[in-house]
Chain A
Amino acid sequence: MFRAEPLYRVQIMVLASEAQDMALELARFGVFSPARFEDQTLPENPADAYREAWLEAESRLAKLAERCGLTEPPEVPADAVPPSLTDLIGLNNWLGNVWSTCLSATESETRIQEELRHLDALEETLDKLARLDVDLAHLLRADGLLAVHIGSLPSAAVKRVTEALAMTGSLVSLFDHVGDQTYAVIAGPRERDAEVRGVLAQAGWRELPVPVELRTHPDAARAWLAQMRREVEARSGAECAAIDALRAQFRPRLEGARLSLILARPLAEAALVGVRGRGGLACLTGWIPRRQLEALRSALDARFHGRYWLQTAEPARHEASKVPSLVRHPAWLRPFAPLVKAYGVPRYGEFDPTLPFAFTYLLLFGAMFGDIGHGGVILLLAVALRRFLGRFVWVGVSAGAVSMLFGLLYGSVFGYEDLFEPVWLSPLHHPTHVLTLAVTFGVGFISLTLLINARNRLVAGQGAHALFDSGGLAGLVFYLGAVAGLASLAGALDLATPAWSVAAIGLVTVVVYKWAESHAGLGERILVTLIEALETGINLFANTLSFMRVAAFSLNHVALALAVFTLAQGLSFAGHWITIVLGNVVIIVLEGAIVAIQALRLMYYEGFSRFYSGDGREFVPLRLVGAK
């Protein structure tokens, strides 16, 4: 629970023709995280073609699933086998054909819809055509000297088209505007019509086919439009029926295709990281938990009957940054893990701070926001919003519960401090005591982080850093000595001489280490060493004082409640209770949020920054995705 599971680096060699079966088996096993290991002896990428075909097929299936309404994830039978490369390419081609068929049907339907919109526009422009006050039949004669075009173009292109067509001696007359389209009549000399058409083609011009009927009587024109609409709608109905038929025809096989692609996915995903090979062999490389190696061997033996070769190796120390971290948490702790991951993933071998984080975070939150009533509201709100909060509901419930516990210790209910005697103490009446406790807690917290940092450095093979650096044991010795020395000065302890001696030993050790570590010229070396030694002291004590905010917020909580009561006192009965309720809402929302953030800040800044690199890689195993 406190560190990532020990992993083995594994290489599994298998016949290239069985690589997809191996990847599927590993995905079913669920603890193989693929990774690339450079190996000059395996120069080929035997799974690249598989991945490419899978990606294309997956994309086609996703589009078809959207059209055909495939939503239910399929069951994956235990004996299901993934498609071979040939099968996958065949499946991909079939999906391509189905999608092309579907696409052309959809495209036809889209065009029909466009035609219907066009007819709408035509109907709208019919009146305006009538107002053109020209004899269209005469104007549109094919044998006239003038070439005339009636149609629409994007409004944004009108100015440019007008200028360009002026160069051909053509006139542009605008007569309607629908949406972003402008309707126009363009007339120019017939011998330059090719030029006009060239410009219009480039400009997105859409010619209005003005039929004979439209050029004569308006009633005849409307009848013609209605007839056209009926024809288009009939075609639309036919296309819809065709699409439905396609859906019914292809759906069963599409379900099968989806299962095949789910089974093919593990190799396609492994290929992204790199499945290397040579000749007829493929090699899958990655990481598995050490304790599951034998189980994996058994599973592979049962499936492949010895037709594979598995090699394992311990990760070398220098590879720690490349090894993924697999940390398992008990169910009750898992909701806190994302808050730790928000800072970073623990490096392989590094201390995983999720458990101390959860305890300390809750402790800090409760101490700063101790109130039975407010904690109860947070608890109930978390339960009420459980669908929205998901697994974070547990964080809300536990924060509420701890707040209630501290409320009991402080004797506070919705800000009322006099309903019952505090089990421990009231922050308002013992502010110095609370401040001292907060700082003492800070000393303990920082000491713990220094110890953890020393441990992390030791594990990473940085023994000197762990022992002599300011963030290691020497820093801790200095810190504890200085704290005891200061406590003695304040009269809390009587250990001044030994305490300052210990602090001096710690500080000198740090200074000597910094000096040895620095590789600059003499002047720069002196400067760096002095500044870093000074920074050691300032940082540690500034961070310790930072914990005073815990006490400050617990006092602040009471003070806010007092302010609400003072406001409410001068009001009538109704006003009094409205003020009390609203005041408590403000305290819960505003102060609750601030305290939650402050507790997180203390954890990240005063805690994690001292020992937690958080630059690890997450262990992402191959899994069967998209299945029930």
Chain B
Amino acid sequence: MSAYLNTRVSLFSGRLWHAEDYDALMQVADEDIGDALNRRGLPQLARGFDNRDPLSLEQRIIAEVLDETRVLLRPLHGAERAFLIYWTERFEVTNLKTLLRGKMTGERPAALLARLTPMGAFGRLDAQTLAHAEDVVELLRRLEAGPYAGIVRQARRAFEDSRDPFMLDAALDRHYYEGLVRRAQPLEDALGAPMRKLMGALIDRINLVWLLRYRFNYNLPPAQVYFLLVASRYALPSAMLRELAALGSFDAVLGALPAPMRARLADTTDIAALFARMDGSAAELAGRILRSGAPPLARAFAYLLLRERDLRAVRAILRGRHLGLPADDIRLAIAHDPGGNA
């Protein structure tokens, strides 16, 4: 089975994009974009390209990722399978946030349902019932009877007091990534450095970007910032995160980072640039692991990380073209794409 997964990942890795592919997509004629996407192994995007609704584009991108994840899951079982399935769950967390925000703004169920990403077999939420909840209180009550009961129960009281969607968003994100770290732990022990490095690059980036954003954009106090970060044991362990959260400026935080990370992030002056730098080095790492003889699951995870990065860039190009932006601006957007949650 590991031979199957290795072969499958190797075949899939031929679909990954290079800088010249992005340039080619920027230059291809409008009527040929569908074909170009098809040739680059993005049939879901190609199929719906005539409809240029950016939200539909987002949904199609996720459908593409889910399709490929489904193929990679076939030979997996046990903790490895659970990990990759959980990796897809963040799209459902996004759906959950969409539902919550939709209910807060009184959005019509049909419009709300159209904005949700179809999760297919990966879905655990009863979107129809939840979208037809009368208001956010009913929605939260219904969620308390579902797979997100734990986190919702914890966040509901705080939310009812403050009515601040940030409370729920931050709690859902933190809960999700802590779940990911928990599921990765036995795999890191079993599969060794490649898996640990991939997880480390991901969680360290998330924690550092969140820390800077909460601390200096939202001006939250250090204790609250620390509480909202993901409990970590990678390059930025919890004790260091506490120290960093207590610092008073962006530069001070950068100056207090471990030396290798500090060297990588030298000269960055804002969160977007910092994200891009960390994302770039995470992608380099994932590329190395993908090309190496690492355990199949680590290679599969590395592929999925790179694939999503590609798709984010493709999304930026398609949106940029749709808005008629110059190619240089689109390239800049690709370089500074702050990603989903981080």
Contacts and interface: CB of A to CB of B under 8 A. Distances in A.
Contacts of B220: 198
Contacts of A244: none
Interface centre among A56, A199, A202 (most CB of B within 10 A): A202
A164 B134 contact: no
A196 B222 CA distance: 10
B223 interface: yes
Contact of B223 (A60, A99, A195): A195
Interface string A161-200: 1011111100000000000000000000000001110110
B170 interface: yes
B129 interface: yes
B154 A163 contact: no
A157 B156 CA distance: 15
A448 to B, nearest CB: 39
Contacts, number: 87
Interface string A127-168: 000000000000000000000000000101100110111111
A533 B35 CA distance: 38
B158 interface: yes
A96 B224 contact: no
A189 to B, nearest CB: 12
Interface in B153-206: 153-158, 161-162, 167, 170-171
Contacts of A154: 150, 153-154
Interface string B116-129: 00000000000011
B102 interface: no
B108 A199 contact: no
B227 A160 contact: yes
A56 B170 contact: no
Contacts of A247: none
B134 A99 contact: yes
Interface in B199-225: 220-224
A124 interface: no
Interface stretch (B68-76, B238-246, B250-258, B292-300): B238-246
A334 interface: no
A79 B152 CA distance: 49
Given A198-B220, A201-B158, A167 B108 contact: no
A60 B108 contact: no
B155 A52 contact: no
Interface in B124-158: 128-129, 132, 134-135, 137-138, 141, 150, 153-158
A107 interface: yes
Contacts of A205: 158
A160 B229 CA distance: 10
Contacts of B245: 167
B137 A167 contact: no
Contact of B154 (A60, A103, A157, A198): A157
B141 A110 contact: yes
A202 B246 contact: no
A164 B108 CA distance: 40
A100 B226 contact: no
A540 B142 CA distance: 58
B19 interface: no
Given A55-B132, A167-B222, A203-B154, 11 more contacts: A52-B108, A56-B110, A60-B132, A103-B135, A167-B245, A195-B223, A202-B158, A202-B171, A202-B224, A204-B156, A206-B157
Interface of B: 108-110, 128-129, 132, 134-135, 137-138, 141, 150, 153-158, 161-162, 167, 170-171, 220-224, 226-228, 231, 238, 242, 245-246
Closest 5 CB pairs of A and B: A204-B154, A59-B132, A164-B227, A195-B221, A198-B224
26 contacts: A56-B108, A56-B110, A99-B134, A100-B135, A103-B135, A103-B137, A110-B141, A154-B154, A157-B154, A160-B227, A160-B231, A165-B223, A168-B223, A194-B221, A195-B223, A198-B220, A198-B221, A198-B224, A201-B158, A201-B162, A202-B158, A202-B224, A202-B228, A203-B154, A204-B157, A206-B157
